[in-house]
Chain A
C-alpha cells in the first residue's frame, strides 16, 4: 500500500508539476490565436519528454548518478561545457520567467503591482530552498499545481462544440490571416514549453536526491508515462479554453490575467480563486526547480558536492550558486522587463537548445559500461533518433524564424 501511495503521489506531482509559466502562456496564446491547430505539437512534446525523461530516470536509477554527471565523463569536458553553458542560460531565463509568474499571480490576487512582489518572491524562494526538504519542494507545489485541473472543469462548463475542437486538432492548418512562418514559430514555442530542459535535470537529479535504485525504476516510469501525458492534457485544456473563449473575442494573450478569463467566465469567483492559486503553485514550484537545476547542472559538471540532503556548509558552492541564480532572476525581472516576454523568449530559446540537452542523454542511455543490458532498445533508439532530427531542425530554424516573424508578431 505504501508503494502504491508513493506511485500515486509521484504521478500526481508529475501532473501538477508539468505545467509552468511557459505552458500557461504558450498554450493560452496559441489557443487564442491559432485555435487547436497546434495541438499536435503538445502531443509531440509530451511523447518526447516522456521518452527522454525515462532514459534519464533509468540512467539515474541504475548508476546512482545524475545524467549530466555522466555526460561530462562520456563526452569530455569541451562538449560538456558547451552543453552546460547553453543549458544553464536557458534554465536561468526560465527561472526569471517563473519568478515573474509568481509575482503576476500575486498581483492578480491583490492588485498590488507585480514589481513589488518580485523581491518577496525571491526571498520566499530562497528561504524554502534553504530550509525545506527535497520531498516537500517536490510534492507540495506539485500537488497544489493540480489545481490547474480547473481548466478542464472550465472547458467542460463552457460546453464547447467538441467536434470543432477535434476537427481543428486533427486537421492542422494555418488559420486564415496568419502567416506560415508565424505558425511554425509558435509551434517551436509550444515544443520548448513542453520539453523544457530543466525538467530533465530536475527529474534526474531528484532521483539521486531520493536515492533511486533499480527497484525504483518501475515507479519512475509510471510517473513519467502517466503523469506527463496527463500534464499534457492540462496543457491542451488551457489551449482549448482560450480557443473557445478568447479567440472569438479577438483577444491575443499578452498578460497572465487574460489566461484566467475562461475560468472566471465558466466558474465564477471560486474557479478564479482556484486558478490563481494554481498559477502561484505552478510557477513557484517551477521557480524552485529551475533554481535548483542551475545549481545541479554546474555542481555536477565541476564535481562539487550538491543536493538538498547535504548541509549547506558542506555544499557551499552549490547553495551559493542556487541562491545567486535566484538573486539574478529577481534583478532581471526588477529591470521592468515584461515577465511574459521573458517567458516567451525562455521557451523559444529552450527549444533551440533542446538537442544539447537530449543528445547527451541518448548517448549515456546507450552506454553499456554504465547500464549493462538495460541500455535503450532498438525501437527506443529509432524513435529517439527521429526526435533528435526533429530537435536539430527546430534548433536550426528557431533564430531565422524569430527574425523573419519579428518574434511571432
Chain B
C-alpha cells in the first residue's frame, strides 16, 4: 500500500482545461468510478506507470520543443520579441503542468529508480524552461538563442527515457 493513500489516477491538464464545467462532470464520473472500485488502488501497475510516465514526458517534450522553436526563431531573427516571450511563457506553463503530472505518479516498487530519474529529468526540463522564459522576458530574444542547445540536450534525454519506458 502506498503512503499516499487513496488517490485519483493522475490525469494531465493538457488541452481541455480543468476549469470547465464539463471537465468537472468528467472528473465526477472518474470519482464515482474510483469509488466504485472500492478506492483500493495505491501504487500503479508497471504498465500504468509506464504509460503515465510516457504521457508526462511527451507533454514535457512538447513544452521544451516549443521553447526550442522560440530560441531558434530568436537566433535567426525570424520573430518579434513579444511573440517569442509569449511562446516561452506558454512553454513554461505547459512544462510546469507536465512536471506536476509526472510528480503525482505512484510507481510500483520495481520502478522506483525510474520514477526518481523521471522526476529529476522533468525538474531539469522545467529549469531549462524557466531559464529560457526569464531570458526572453529579460535580456531579450537575442540572448535566448544561447538557450537552444540546452533545450535540445534536455529534450534528447527525455526522448531517451521515454524510449526506455516503452
Contact = CB atoms under 8 A, between A and B. Distances in A.
Contacts of A264: 73, 78-79, 83
B90 A110 contact: no
Q: Tell me the dominant secondary structure on chain A's binding face.
A: helix
Interface string B63-86: 001101100010011111111011
Contacts of B130: none
B26 interface: yes
B39 interface: no
A108 B85 CA distance: 9
Contacts of A257: 66, 83, 86-87, 90
Interface in B6-26: 11-12, 14-17, 19-20, 22-23, 26
B76 to A, nearest CB: 8
B80 A269 contact: yes
Nearest to B155: A250
Nearest to B82: A111
Interface string A377-409: 000000000000000000000000011001111
A338 B86 CA distance: 15
Contacts of B94: 254-255
B62 interface: yes
Contact of B17 (A111, A276, A341): A341
A334 to B, nearest CB: 12
Nearest to B30: A406
A258 interface: yes
B29 interface: yes
Residue of A107, A268, A340, A406 most packed against chain B (CB within 10 A): A406
A272 B14 contact: no
A407 B19 contact: no
Interface residues of B, number: 37
B62 A265 contact: no
B61 interface: yes
B2 to A, nearest CB: 22
A342 B21 CA distance: 10
Contacts of A335: 19
A261 interface: yes
Interface string A315-347: 000000000000000000001111011101100
A408 B82 contact: no
A108 B14 contact: no
A406 B62 contact: no
B58 interface: yes
Contact of B26 (A261, A276, A337, A407): A407
A367 interface: no
Contacts of A338: 17, 19
A402 B20 contact: no
A336 B93 CA distance: 14
Given A250-B58, A409-B15, A261 B66 contact: yes
Contact of B83 (A250, A260, A408): A260
B20 A345 contact: yes
Contacts of B50: none
Contacts of B80: 109, 269, 272-273
Interface string A246-273: 0001111011011011001100110011
Contact of A250 (B14, B61, B78): B61
Interface in B23-37: 23, 26, 29
A272 B15 CA distance: 24
Nearest to B55: A409
Contacts of B23: 341, 407
A404 B156 CA distance: 32
Contact of A337 (B12, B19, B68): B19
B90 A258 contact: yes
A337 B17 contact: yes
A408 B58 CA distance: 15
Contacts of B86: 107-108, 111, 257
A30 to B, nearest CB: 12
A341 B65 contact: no
Given A406-B11, A407-B23, A344 B83 contact: no
A407 B16 CA distance: 7
19 contacts: A111-B85, A250-B65, A252-B14, A257-B87, A258-B66, A261-B66, A264-B78, A268-B77, A269-B78, A273-B80, A338-B17, A341-B20, A341-B23, A342-B17, A342-B20, A345-B20, A409-B15, A409-B16, A409-B55
Interface of A: 29, 107-111, 249-252, 254-255, 257-258, 260-261, 264-265, 268-269, 272-273, 276, 335-338, 340-342, 344-345, 402-403, 406-409
Which 6 A-B pairs rank lowest in CB-CB distance, beginning with the nearest? A341-B17, A338-B17, A111-B82, A407-B16, A249-B65, A268-B78
